[in-house]
């Protein structure tokens, strides 16, 4: 496919985003600005015009629906070669990595991913074991604290140190709950949703040769909805992007709809300080709103 065909129908700013293929790139894009289209065209450009092996491209987003849409649209543009690309959610990507290397962290390649119901049952078991009053330590509260710790990349041991001198003694008991909860997961060869990212970062921290193998594999990394990344996702992307730094992130610096999962809008606001040589492109034309206005006319 010729470059002209790849960028036909794109406005000048979208074309700039697609054709900028080396080094860190921040694409600021609100809803309706054609950001998914830009990501898809950028992937197609890397493969067909730059000769990049599809297996060397990793594209991550937040929902299965978004990942599926991206896969289908890339396939429509470049055909079945897109099948070998790694386009998935953060959690699916990490689950895939852990299935290959989880035994190094003490769980099998066939580990279970606990549902909310299974997590609740395990937390209730821990509450009984510690003889805690469920009214003082409700499951929803404990689950929220543990999830927040994992989103921040904080292990049970680190959390215990964090709250060791906290004025609220309740937090020190929560630290014990977190510790026993993690032990319960391990005993059952299970991970929860937050563990998928947390344990992948732990794996890369402990086994540099495994991190290096994924760095070698993924020469180009694209992240959609970057404003919604939390601390552990931010660390994961930073680890994988070094040292090539062919990192393209797309996001809206005005919104953060995933704050309930510990999203840090600062990740997108600090991108230029994290990568001083970053190119910044802002997609300001809103096609979705224009279509809505025309439809209402």
Write the CA distances from 188 to 18, 112, 113, integer angstroms. Answer: 46, 8, 10
Task: Note the pLDDT tens digit of each residue in 52-82.
Answer: 999 999 999 999 999 999 999 999 999 988 8
What CATH number matches the domain at 112-188, 2.60.40, 1.25.40, 3.30.43, 1.10.10? 1.10.10
How many C-beta atoms lie closer than 10 Å to residue 18's C-beta? 26
Task: Note the pLDDT tens digit of each residue in 257-287.
Answer: 545 455 677 899 899 999 999 999 999 866 5
CA distance 244 to 241: 6
What does pTM read for this prediction? Answer: 0.89
Which residues pair with residue 281 across a beta bridge? 27
Q: Domain ranges for the chain, please list them.
A: 3-98+197-296, 112-188
DSSP conformation letters of 118-142 = HHHHHHHHHHHHTT--TTTS-HHHH
Q: Percentage helix, strand, coil, to 5, in the chain?
A: 60, 10, 30
CB 194, CB 151: distance < 8 Å = yes
Write the CA distances from 5 to 15, 16, 38, 49, 54, integer angstroms. Answer: 12, 15, 14, 11, 19
How many C-beta atoms lie closer than 10 Å to residue 282's C-beta? 13
Task: Note the pLDDT tens digit of each residue in 152-207.
Answer: 999 999 999 999 988 888 999 999 999 999 999 999 999 999 999 999 999 999 99
The CATH architecture one would assign to domain 3-98+197-296 is 3-Layer(aba) Sandwich (3.40)
Categorize the per-residue pLDDT at 1 as very low, low, confident or very high, splitting at 50, 70 and 90. Answer: low
């Amino acid at each position: 496919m010729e470059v002209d065909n790849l960028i036909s129908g794109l406005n000048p700013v979208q074309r700039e985003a697609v054709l900028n293929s080396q080094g860190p790139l921040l694409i600021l894009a609100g809803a309706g600005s054609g950001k998914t289209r830009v990501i898809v065209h950028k992937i197609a450009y890397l493969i067909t015009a730059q000769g990049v092996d599809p297996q060397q491209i990793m594209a991550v987003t937040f929902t299965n629906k978004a990942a599926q849409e991206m896969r289908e649209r890339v396939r429509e543009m470049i055909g079945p070669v897109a099948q070998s690309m790694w386009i998935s959610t953060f959690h699916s990507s990490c689950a895939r990595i852990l299935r290959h290397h989880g035994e190094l962290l003490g769980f099998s390649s066939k580990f279970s991913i606990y549902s909310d119901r299974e997590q609740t049952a395990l937390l209730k078991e821990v509450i009984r074991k510690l003889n805690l009053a469920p009214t003082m330590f409700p499951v929803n509260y404990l689950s929220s604290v543990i999830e927040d710790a994992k989103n921040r990349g904080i292990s049970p041991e680190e959390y215990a140190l964090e709250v060791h001198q906290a004025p609220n003694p309740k937090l020190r008991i929560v630290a014990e709950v977190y510790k026993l909860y993690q032990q319960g997961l391990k005993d059952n060869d299970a991970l929860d949703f937050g563990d998928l990212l947390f344990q992948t970062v732990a794996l890369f921290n402990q086994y540099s040769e495994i991190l290096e193998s994924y760095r070698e594999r993924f020469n180009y990394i694209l992240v959609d909805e970057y404003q919604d990344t939390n601390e552990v996702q931010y660390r994961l992307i930073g680890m994988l992007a070094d040292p090539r730094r062919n990192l393209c992130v797309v996001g809206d610096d005005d919104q953060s709809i995933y704050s309930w999962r510990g999203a840090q809008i600062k990740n997108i606001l600090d991108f230029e300080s994290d990568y001083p040589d970053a190119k910044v492109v802002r997609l300001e034309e809103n096609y979705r709103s224009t279509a809505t206005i025309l439809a209402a006319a």
